[in-house]
Homo-oligomer: A and B are copies of this chain.
Amino acid sequence: MIRAILLGSGYVGTYLAVGLERIKKGLVGKYGIPLAKYPLPYKIEDINIVSAYDIDSSKVGKTLFDAGAEIFGKEYDLPETLKDIPIKKGIHLKSAEGLPIKATGLEEGRSVKDAIDELVNEWAELKPDVIINVITTEEGRAYKSKEEAVSAILDGKAPATHAYAYAATQYAKQSGRKVTFVNAIPTPVANNPGLIELFNETGAIAFGDDGATGATPLTSDLLEHMAQRNRFVEFVVQFNIGGNTDFLALTQPKRNKMKENTKSSMVADILGYDAPHYIKPTGYLQPLGDKKYVAMHLEWISFNGFRDSLFISARINDSPALAGMLVDLIRLGKIAVDKGLSGTVYEVNAFFMKKPGPEGAKNIAKTHAYMQLLNWLGLSRYQ
């Protein structure tokens, strides 16, 4: 059994919980979970989400069943087991600033340290093996050292993600339990030397950053396809627009910058030259909902100087794609813990993350990262 905690009960977190319970009840196939077909030490059904955390005051105190009913409507076949997963009050630290949410936070009326301590005490009872961060993208910077990190966090100058990551390490330290913190958003954790120092020191693990779903991994593999044929890519355009909270949040320039950073690092890493590119979340349009629209265009020079053109249009359900990956990341988090690792794990990050940590690590094509991951797990693609 794997005990997991969700930070954030928005679309991604709710889809993850709903999908897991529906799989357990045999209501839906195991599609969208990359490693579902391979014999891992932990089955999908072994995952048990023990609690969620949120700062939306209209959610705190309810359960993931309520969150699911809000999204899917009353007609949907929601497993009753979701009623056993409470939504507790989390750390805010302005992570919802500017969004149409009435926010509340554990730190209200006390110090950040006290809020973190309370969290760590709760976790000591919940005994999570894996903690998944799927809160809304927030601005955040990398710290050079553990000291710089801790000081920013305790002074309330760090984003909620960093406070949560710190709490995870303190939970590991105090409880003596191993834990993996999965950072599925762009705010740097696995790419954050100061935080990774903390994880290393406490025997905890951080996976990250920014779950690789949607158009970016596709772009990664397309660029590899070009590179393998030695085509000269003249430019890459990739537009994204959606109607969920994450796209709304990304209309704020600082949050958008976080996202752009994690998306663009792959071009030079894969092609070997920094082809001119425009790759970023482009806008918000409510009726698109969680099913974003992606438009891509690239041109390249082929043999004897001929120019070819490619256009892609796609509609992709944003949150389920990430939720499916989290199913594996939870299992891999426990596997990594069982292996006695600490710090971060490039072999996992390289496939699952848009900006795989540690800082400075190469952003190789996802198709190669997949093979390396299988290798790390002692599995093979065509067996």
Contacts and interface: CB of A to CB of B under 8 A. Distances in A.
Secondary structure call for the A interface: mixed
Contacts of A30: 230
Interface residues of A, number: 79
A82 to B, nearest CB: 13
Contacts of A74: none
A339 interface: no
A381 interface: yes
Give this chain's copy count.
Answer: 4
Interface string A360-380: 001011111011000000000
A224 interface: yes
A225 B229 contact: no
Nearest to A296: B295
A287 B275 CA distance: 10
A239 B293 CA distance: 11
B311 A278 contact: no
A89 to B, nearest CB: 27
A295 B325 CA distance: 29
Contacts of A364: 382
B313 A367 contact: no
A284 to B, nearest CB: 8
A31 B285 contact: no
A187 to B, nearest CB: 23
A303 B315 contact: no
A230 B382 contact: no
A316 interface: yes
Given A228-B367, A310-B314, 7 more contacts: A19-B304, A31-B302, A33-B303, A239-B295, A304-B323, A306-B317, A309-B309
Interface of A: 15, 18-19, 22, 28-37, 217-218, 221-222, 224-225, 228-232, 234-235, 237, 239, 241, 272, 276-278, 282-288, 291, 293, 295, 297, 300-317, 320-321, 323-325, 327, 362, 364-368, 370-371, 381-382
